[in-house]
């Protein structure tokens, strides 16, 4: 016999489960279960109310149980990797940013490290228009750098540090 031990963070953020059931809307819930052999698995339960065919018929729910252990492990590993990468990026003593050039000739900033506001004195929203705040003496080199042809004809990004 498995026991269901949900974690508080697994519930719908603003709705207790009974609110969803009373409103006859779908509900999704994730939690860990512990089997009789003490193994832990992640399960997802999806409850979908059926439409009653008679006026006073009780609402029935269709339930789908999924074993999401592998997916959850990948999700947790991705979160750990992203946390590690954010920590590493925060240690770079300069500014890291990524600029994307598109097929249509437009371009935009896709990543900007937190050090940008400390070093440049601009907030991230202002730095989204980085090309407009480049010193006039450096603007020609800036434009030349970003407009040089890509290695392929696909949209591309450049990471600069």
What's the CA gap between 24 and 8, in Å, rounded?
Answer: 22
Q: Could you tell me if 60 and 115 lie in one domain?
A: no
78 and 139 belong to one structural domain: no
User: Domain boundary residue among 87, 107, 133?
Assistant: 87
pLDDT string in tens for the chain (161-residue length)? 455 544 444 444 454 556 666 667 788 889 999 988 988 999 999 988 887 788 888 878 889 999 999 999 999 999 999 999 888 888 888 777 777 777 777 777 777 777 877 887 777 677 666 667 778 888 888 777 766 665 655 555 555 54
Q: Coil, helix or strand for 128?
A: coil
Closest CA to 146 of 95, 110, 97, 100: 100
Taking every pair of C-alpha atoms in the chain, what is the biggest distance, in angstroms?
78
Neighbours of 155 (CB within 10 A): 13
The token pair that represents 48 in the structure block: 């979908």
Write out the E strands in the chain: 3-5, 27-34, 40-49, 61-67, 97-101, 107-112, 156-160
Domain end call among 69, 87, 105: 87
| Cα dihedral value 81, 83, 88, 91, nearest 10 | 180
The CATH number that applies at residue 18 is 3.30.450
Q: Indicate if 75 and 96 belong to the same structural domain.
A: no
pTM exceeds 0.85? no
Tell me which residue range forms the domain holding 114.
Answer: 92-160
Domain boundary among 87, 107, 130: 87
16 and 72 belong to one structural domain: yes
Q: How many domains does the chain have?
A: 2
């Amino acid at each position: 016999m498995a026991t269901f031990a949900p974690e508080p963070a697994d519930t719908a953020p603003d709705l207790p489960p009974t609110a969803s059931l009373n409103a006859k809307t779908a509900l999704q819930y994730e939690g860990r279960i512990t089997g009789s052999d003490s193994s832990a698995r992640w399960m997802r339960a999806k409850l979908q109310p059926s439409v009653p065919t008679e006026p006073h018929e009780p609402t029935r729910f269709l339930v789908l149980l999924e074993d999401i252990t592998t997916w959850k492990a990948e999700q947790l590993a991705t979160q750990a990797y992203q946390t590690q990468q954010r920590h590493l990026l925060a240690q770079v003593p300069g500014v890291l940013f990524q600029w994307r050039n598109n097929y249509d000739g437009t371009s935009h900033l896709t990543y900007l490290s937190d050090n940008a506001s400390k070093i440049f004195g601009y907030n991230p929203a202002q730095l989204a228009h980085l090309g407009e705040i480049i010193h006039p003496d450096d603007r020609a080199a800036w434009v030349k750098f970003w407009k040089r042809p890509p290695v392929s004809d696909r949209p591309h990004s450049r990471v600069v540090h």
